[in-house]
Amino acid sequence: MTAHRTTTAKDVAAVAGVHPSTVSRSLDPLRASLVREETRQRVIAAANELNYRPDLIASGLRRQRTHTIGVLVPDLGNPVFAEFTGGINRRLERADYTAILLETQNQHERFQTGARLLSERRVDGIISGATRAGDRRTLRQLVQSGIPVVMAMRWIRGLEIPIVANDDLRGGALAAEHLISLGHRRLAQLHGADDIETFRERGIGFHGTLARAGIDDADQVRYAKLQTAAEARKLMRALLQACDEPPTGIFAHNDLMAVGAIEALKEQSLRCPEDVSVIGFNDMPLTEHLAPPLTTIRMPTAEIGRVAAETVLSMIDGASSPAVTISLQPRLVVRGSTAPPRR
Amino acid sequence: MTAHRTTTAKDVAAVAGVHPSTVSRSLDPLRASLVREETRQRVIAAANELNYRPDLIASGLRRQRTHTIGVLVPDLGNPVFAEFTGGINRRLERADYTAILLETQNQHERFQTGARLLSERRVDGIISGATRAGDRRTLRQLVQSGIPVVMAMRWIRGLEIPIVANDDLRGGALAAEHLISLGHRRLAQLHGADDIETFRERGIGFHGTLARAGIDDADQVRYAKLQTAAEARKLMRALLQACDEPPTGIFAHNDLMAVGAIEALKEQSLRCPEDVSVIGFNDMPLTEHLAPPLTTIRMPTAEIGRVAAETVLSMIDGASSPAVTISLQPRLVVRGSTAPPRR
DNA sequence: GTGAAAGCGCTAACAC
DNA sequence: GTGTTAGCGCTTTCAC
């Protein structure tokens, strides 16, 4: 193997017969006009000849800009977050920014080390898509260190940090309205983890809409630690055992939980949607191909990513951190897992 | 907003009453032994007090190591690649490395700009998980520039670049063996894109095993441009129209295509598995909850990521690039979408 | 065991 | 218009 030294601006300068700073100017679109056209052409020719790639690390050190955004997500295996990061990536790309994606696995310790890593890498901004109740201090420290931070998808209250998220209150309400309008009165929730505001909002939105219709689901809410099919199945079993008459409508806080619920129903020879209607959340891939195809709430996930990126970029440019909340609207996707209750 | 200056080694040095180079030594585990214990404690105290975070950018510039690996994937929305990057991330983390993930969307141009971006960021190594036939030149350039490169998941022949991948030849063979052993003789393939070696291998593995059993599927192979359910549905329709007697067994090159195939069968009132067996590939999330639950081939995706990361790290350390191919073994997951053919 | 000096590759400020 | 100089924050010689 040849000992490799990457070509630098100095090398290009030597070939073009100019000073390194002229190389720098010629190659930066913003300052190219400062250079005589003829000189610039010579530099570009030399750069191409040597296959020169400016060192963004060195440039970043000098400019105090890394053109990098740190993104914290709970888990890339979750298709919702894959879509979210897709939205971020597409927006950042247009601005010549790159994302560093870190998975927290819903663990505060990983959130914390992730945050530390990102500040050591001097990212220009951070999008926290994995925020949970326990992360408050860490987020406050980030803000205090002067780095622009945005909470997206998941968020907590009482921080001076912009929020870009789905309107989960509305999402829960949509689910309730749908089931009520079908004629359901005995309703239950398979509730996501209690320390994630997203799920609390979904729960409140659902509960509130029920209350306004004179329905109470207070005894019929079961909380999951992890929003998996397996855990939902257990919760659903317990729910069925605990009540004389099973509910006729179930709101599961995500699609995997809805799937688990339907399986638990099958175990008890209850059919979906004939005996019990089930509605999920997220509209993840393949849900339309399930039996029955899942009725669910779809949120504008990629759009949330896009707007979150936009927001953090504007904070990097503009001075002030607008402590705003941007709510994007979810919508109901009706498929086969919900139907009117049996007479 | 306060104008923020992040604290530097110089600041810490001032507080601890030492020289910046002593700060550097004290905080690097490898060189901490060069510093008197008492001094080191003073430095650490000062660093904590000031909440000092060493600047990895500056450190990288000096050491000519960014502790960053670039990873090119076709699409993070594809759960297989989410799992793959998970495997990479977990391994890199242990080595204090960070990944930069870039999505190519299966477009050569994006592969190329991605590669350029990664070299400008001076990543210490690259894992190409998105390799397609057209990317040969770009990969060769990367190698020539002296940067360690590994092809994982997807790969092409004839490059002096290590390969870490699923044994797709074996995967295709597993699918064939399963269908043959159930008693199927009329078989067809819904084949993934022709410019991705992965799919060619699956096709050859399937075809070869059939041939050895005296079965020919040559007329019964339909090629997709994109491996989606929608496209598979169309291909399957065409396939059914083109033949008098439909095949009794279908090998779809991924799970989405298998789902599309099953839907096309339903349109023609053909049932799966009673009339036609369908086997997929990947074992993506929710496949076990489909109706029927999908029989599929599972590959050790996270493990491929882990080994790819391991390989690129060893190339960064050790000098030579071992032009090896590491094949990991897939396995058959039998569920409900395959059964013996009807008499 | 610690300090001083130099330099990684780039670019901003200044000089001419 | 282009060259010169200096410095981003760190680490690595080399002194002492």
- Strand C closer than 7 Å to the CB of A59? yes
The answer to whether residues B80 and B137 touch, using CB atoms and an 8 Å cutoff, is no
Q: Own/partner pairs for B142-146, CB < 8 Å, 24+ apart?
A: B142/B115, B143/B321, B145/A4, B145/A6, B145/A51, B145/B119, B146/A1, B146/A2, B146/A4, B146/A6
Among A4-8, A121-125, B249-253, the range scoring the smallest mean pLDDT is A4-8
Q: Is B96 on the interface with A (CB under 8 A)?
A: no
Cα distance between residue B82 and residue B78, in whole Å: 6
- Strand C closer than 7 Å to the CB of B19? yes
Nearest nucleotide by C1' position to the B24 CA atom = D11
Of all protein residues, which has its CA closest to the C1' atom of C11? A62
Cα distance between residue A277 and residue A271, in whole Å: 9
Chain D: bases < 7 Å from a protein Cβ: 1-5, 7-13
Mean pLDDT of B203-207: 97
User: pLDDT tens, A265-288?
Assistant: 999 999 999 999 999 999 999 999
Which helix (H) or strand (E) segment holds residue B71: the answer is: strand B68-73
**Closest residue in chain B to residue A79, using alpha carbons only:** B77
User: pLDDT tens, B250-285?
Assistant: 999 999 999 999 999 999 999 999 999 999 999 999
Q: Give the closest-approach CA distance of B207 to chain A in angstroms.
A: 29
φ, ψ (nearest 5 deg) of residue A243: -125, 150
Q: Is A105 on the interface with B (CB under 8 A)?
A: no
The answer to whether residues B67 and B97 touch, using CB atoms and an 8 Å cutoff, is yes
B122/A76 touch (CB, cutoff 8 Å), yes or no: no
The alpha-helical segments, DSSP class H, found in chain B are 9-16, 20-27, 37-50, 56-63, 79-94, 108-120, 136-144, 168-182, 197-212, 229-242, 255-267, 301-317
Looking at beta carbons, which residues of chain B come within 8 Å of A119?
Answer: 53
SS (H, E, C) chain A: CCCCCCCCHHHHHHHHCCCHHHHHHHHCCCCHHHCCHHHHHHHHHHHHHHCCCCCHHHHHHHHCCCCEEEEEECCCCCHHHHHHHHHHHHHHHHCCCEEEEEECCCCHHHHHHHHHHHHHCCCCEEEECCCCHHHHHHHHHHHHCCCCEEEECCCCCCCCCCEEEECHHHHHHHHHHHHHHHCCCCEEEEECCCCCHHHHHHHHHHHHHHHHCCCCCHHHEEECCCCCHHHHHHHHHHHHHHCCCCCCEEEECCHHHHHHHHHHHHHCCCCCCCCCEEECCCCCCCHHHECCCCEEEECCHHHHHHHHHHHHHHHHHCCCCCCCEEEECCEEECCCCCCCCCC
B117/A98 touch (CB, cutoff 8 Å), yes or no: yes
What's residue B314's pLDDT? 94
What's residue B323's pLDDT? 73
What's residue B275's pLDDT? 97
Looking at beta carbons, which residues of chain B come within 8 Å of A55?
Answer: 61, 120, 122
pLDDT of residue B2 exceeding 50, the answer is no
Cα distance between residue A33 and residue A255, in whole Å: 55
A residues 309-338 near B, CB within 8 Å?
A: 319-321
pLDDT of residue B3 exceeding 70, the answer is no
Looking at beta carbons, which residues of chain B come within 8 Å of A48?
Answer: none
- Strand C closer than 7 Å to the CB of A46? no
Nearest nucleotide by C1' position to the B52 CA atom = D9
Q: Is A57 on the interface with B (CB under 8 A)?
A: yes
**Residue linked to tokens 């590994």:** B150
Q: Give the closest-approach CA distance of B50 to chain A in angstroms.
A: 11
For the beta carbon of residue A182, count every other beta carbon within 10 angstroms: 18
**Residue linked to tokens 């006729």:** A248
pLDDT class of B4 with cuts at 50, 70, 90: low
A320/B116 touch (CB, cutoff 8 Å), yes or no: no
pLDDT of residue A98 exceeding 50, the answer is yes
Mean pLDDT of A82-95: 97
**Which amino acid would we find at residue A169?**
L
CA of residue B121 to C1' of nucleotide D2, angstroms: 28
A101/B103 touch (CB, cutoff 8 Å), yes or no: no
Tokens of A316: 């990097």
Give percent of chain A above pLDDT 70: 98
For an interface test with B, which of A4, A5, A53, A84 has the most B Cβ atoms less than 10 Å from its Cβ? Answer: A53
Nearest nucleotide by C1' position to the A31 CA atom = C11
**Residue linked to tokens 């000092």:** B52
pLDDT of residue B218 exceeding 90, the answer is no
User: pLDDT tens, A146-187?
Assistant: 999 999 999 999 999 999 999 999 999 999 999 999 999 999
What's residue A101's pLDDT? 96
What's residue B1's pLDDT? 40
What's residue B343's pLDDT? 75
The β-bridge partners of B151 are B128, B163
**Residue linked to tokens 């050895």:** B212
User: pLDDT tens, B87-145?
Assistant: 999 999 999 999 999 999 999 999 999 999 999 999 999 999 999 999 999 999 999 99
Mean pLDDT of A184-200: 95
| SS3 category, B231 | helix
Looking at beta carbons, which residues of chain A come within 8 Å of B254?
Answer: none
A79/B83 touch (CB, cutoff 8 Å), yes or no: no
B1/A320 touch (CB, cutoff 8 Å), yes or no: yes
**Closest residue in chain A to residue B8, using alpha carbons only:** A120
A61/B58 touch (CB, cutoff 8 Å), yes or no: yes
Which helix (H) or strand (E) segment holds residue B127: the answer is: strand B125-128
User: pLDDT tens, B159-196?
Assistant: 999 999 999 999 999 999 999 999 999 999 999 999 99
Nearest nucleotide by C1' position to the B33 CA atom = C1
The answer to whether residues A231 and A259 touch, using CB atoms and an 8 Å cutoff, is no
Closest of A85, A140, A152, A88 to residue A115, by C-alpha: A140
Please name the residues in contact with A53: beta carbons below 8 A apart, sequence gap of 6 or more.
Answer: A6, A7, B116, B119, B120
What's residue B111's pLDDT? 98
pLDDT class of B319 with cuts at 50, 70, 90: low
Among A110-114, A218-222, B25-29, the range scoring the smallest mean pLDDT is A218-222
For an interface test with B, which of A96, A101, A316 has the most B Cβ atoms less than 10 Å from its Cβ? Answer: A101
Chain C: bases < 7 Å from a protein Cβ: 1-5, 7-13
- Strand C closer than 7 Å to the CB of A55? yes
Q: Is A76 on the interface with B (CB under 8 A)?
A: yes
Reported pTM = 0.94
Residues in chain A: 343
pLDDT class of A1 with cuts at 50, 70, 90: very low
What's residue B321's pLDDT? 64
Looking at beta carbons, which residues of chain B come within 8 Å of A285?
Answer: 77, 79, 284-286
The answer to whether residues A57 and B60 touch, using CB atoms and an 8 Å cutoff, is yes
